[in-house]
């Protein structure tokens, strides 16, 4: 009985108009809903080629001349060992050199954090501690995805932590804002030496 009520449609027996309407089964094309527009002309047939449509300042009769002679001689500044002697691609430094710069920057910002927030000496990130300690390091992610509260890792500095890493538990913080590569000083407990529960974050201030 239900099959008898179903309306069939074919090229020989088109569906009645009252059933088509805006049904998904109805015919659809961009031309049926888009207004008629004038087709764009070819770029080669455009008009006004070479015509100045806007000008700023006086551009009529301007002449240029130099007073330094027919040429100039470039001069290098800085120490000779910092000059490039061959073709060099930007950001193609050796990984060891990049790591040395990052570690030096971490130590420099660590001294600034210690001076600004009046902190005691930093502790190793992997050393078990029942009492709250302060550690220095760089925020990293333990996976290939985006950084989230469950994937935050702290990579310690070279002087105190020998570059060791430890996962962070941020559940004790009311709010925080971190990004990979950020240099921070953290205060918290590390009872097992495998995960640090953070209670306070010291960020670098201008």
Average confidence score pLDDT of the chain? 80
Q: pLDDT tens for residues 7-26?
A: 555 555 655 555 544 555 55
- What is the mean pLDDT of the segment spanning 137-156? 90
- What is the mean pLDDT of the segment spanning 29-45? 67
**3-state SS track over the chain:** CHHHHCCCCCCCCCCCHHHHCCCCCCCCCHHHHCCCCCCCCCHHHCCCCCCCCCCCCCCCCCCCCCCCCCCCCCCCCCCHHHCCCCCCCCCCCCHHHHHHHHHHHHHHHHHHHHHHHCCCCCCCCCCCEEEEEEEEEEEEECCCCCCCCCCEEEEECHHHHCCCEEEEECCCCCCCCCCCCCEEEEEEEECCCCCEEEEEEEECCC
Q: pLDDT tens for residues 45-77?
A: 878 878 888 888 776 777 777 776 667 778 878
Domains and CATH numbers, the chain: 93-205 (2.40.50.430)
pLDDT of residue 132: 93
Pick 169 or 93 by higher pLDDT: 169
């Amino acid at each position: 009985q239900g099959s008898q009520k179903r309306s069939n449609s074919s090229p020989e027996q088109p569906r009645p108009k009252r059933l088509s309407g805006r049904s998904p089964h109805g015919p659809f094309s961009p031309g049926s809903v888009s207004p008629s527009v004038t087709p764009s002309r070819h770029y080669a047939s455009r008009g006004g080629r070479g015509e100045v449509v806007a000008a700023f300042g006086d551009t009529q009769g301007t002449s240029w001349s130099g007073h330094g002679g027919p040429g100039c001689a470039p001069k290098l500044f800085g120490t000779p060992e910092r000059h490039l002697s061959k073709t060099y691609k930007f950001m193609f430094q050796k990984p060891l050199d990049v790591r040395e710069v990052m570690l030096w920057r971490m130590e420099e910002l660590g001294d600034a954090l210690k001076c600004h927030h009046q902190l005691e000496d930093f502790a190793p990130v992997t050393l078990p501690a029942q009492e709250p300690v302060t550690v220095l390091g760089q925020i990293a992610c333990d996976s290939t995805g985006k950084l989230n509260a469950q994937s935050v890792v702290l990579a310690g500095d070279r002087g105190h932590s020998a570059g060791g890493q430890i996962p962070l538990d941020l559940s004790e913080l009311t709010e925080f804002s971190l990004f990979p590569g950020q240099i921070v000083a953290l205060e918290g407990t590390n009872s097992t030496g495998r995960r640090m529960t953070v209670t306070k974050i010291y960020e670098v201030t201008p």
